[in-house]
Amino acid sequence: MNETLKRTPLYELHLKLGARMVPFGGWEMPVQYTGVIEEHRAVRQAAGLFDVSHMGEFEVSGPQALDLIQLVSTNNAAKLAVGDVQYSLMCYENGNVVDDILVYRLGEHRYWLVVNAGNTRKDWEWITTARERAGLRNLELVNRSDEIALLALQGPKAAEILQPLAPGAVLSEMAPFTLKAGVTVAGVPTLVLSRTGYTGEDGFEIYVKSEDAAALWEALLEAGEEEGLLPCGLGARDTLRFEAKLPLYGHEISEQHNPLEAGLGFAVKLKKGVDFIGRDALAKQKEQGLTRKLVGIEMIDRGIPRQGYPVAVNGQTVGEVTTGSFSPTLEKNIGLAYVPVAYSAVGTEVEVIIRGRALKARVVETPFYRSPHRR
């Protein structure tokens, strides 16, 4: 294993649990413990616990904090009340994606931006450059990534497991995409507790100081054991988010893709009243119409569509798979792919080129999975 890889505060606990560790986004992370399918199904049926401490956190505070966020974010952060969380994206001038982010409003002039692990350095440089160019001086911008650990408790039993450990918070009152600050969980003081996640299920993300992560991890696993809670790795995290059509940077979104063609137009507010980086290009794209779209495909022939496999129609390559796997929930081979708009209608038959063979597939509705448990 490359010694230059970073490790989360839970590294030793992962080894103790028998996790298989892999490089991911510059980090040494657990890909699985008992197995991807078992962990995946635990989250769909009961609960799973993920170490996502590799994610980056930037704090923006001060009178011009909102101005900076509105400049770099496609969504409208001005609509956030204190205690709200918002999904958004940052785009280049050409409208393509720098990263997708979560915006947390912690106070009147205090926000967190949560960014993807592999993009933390790039995102930091992007935001600081944007700030300098805009001349926004009346704010403080701090990279808190190394100080903060993040645990994600996900699944239909997440609230049931967490509530007895957090007597100071009434979790049933928390709507999706809201947060509580300063909640104590299993005796551990948390920084932020939010009803968010990346699995398509109900769940919570718990931000703590790095030195408190191990105690919280062990307390949660112990509390959830009788409910079927399992530690889960990146493998299950990927199949879970994929079934719910949640995008992953480097797959569905990247510097080669824009939010509109990725189906993320709900997070692009062209009329929010202030300019943002990439707005003009996205407005032009919307006016002219899309040329390609991200669609779901289901294999008709036997085979798994993997990232990078060509998608063809009548023998001519028209697109490419961004993510694909066997779906543990649906027990089918499915994928996401970019195709021309002309071939994007549900029911359209296409071919996926797998090891030189053209295998039949059809375009299907997405998300592939909608949780019956989500609030």
What domains, with CATH codes, occur in the chain? Answer: 11-51+147-243 (3.30.1360.120), 291-364 (2.40.30.110)
The CB density around residue 275, as the number of other CB atoms within 10 Å, is: 10
Distances, alpha carbon 135 to alpha carbons 62, 341, 351, 373, in Å: 14, 41, 51, 46
pLDDT digits (tens, 9 = 90+) for 34-58: 999 999 999 999 999 999 999 999 9
Distance CA 345, CA 18 (A): 44
CA angle 126, 127, 129 (to 5 degrees): 65
Distance CA 322, CA 247 (A): 10
- Is residue 341 a contact partner of residue 290, using CB atoms and an 8 Å limit? yes
> Which parts of the chain have pLDDT scores under 50?
1-2
The CB density around residue 225, as the number of other CB atoms within 10 Å, is: 11
Longest alpha-carbon distance in the chain:
61
Tokens of 83: 């205690």
Q: State residue 373's pLDDT score.
A: 82
Can you give the pTM of this predicted structure? 0.97
Per DSSP, the three-state class of 233 is coil
Measured in residues, the chain has a length of: 375
Nearest to 189 by CA among 232, 148, 145: 148
Tokens of 113: 């931006």
Distance CA 180, CA 302 (A): 47
178-209 burial code (b ≥16 CB/10 A, e <16): bbbbebebbebebbbbbbbbbbbbbbbbbbbe
Q: 3-state DSSP: the chain helix, strand, coil percent, rounded to 5?
A: 25, 35, 40
pLDDT digits (tens, 9 = 90+) for 89-133: 999 999 999 999 999 999 999 999 999 999 999 999 999 999 999
Q: State residue 3's pLDDT score.
A: 60
Distance CA 109, CA 66 (A): 7
Tokens of 187: 């005796």
344-366 burial code (b ≥16 CB/10 A, e <16): beeebebbbbbeeeebebebbeb
For all residues of the chain together, what is the average pLDDT?
A: 97
Per DSSP, the three-state class of 355 is coil
Distance CA 269, CA 285 (A): 14
Q: State residue 106's pLDDT score.
A: 98
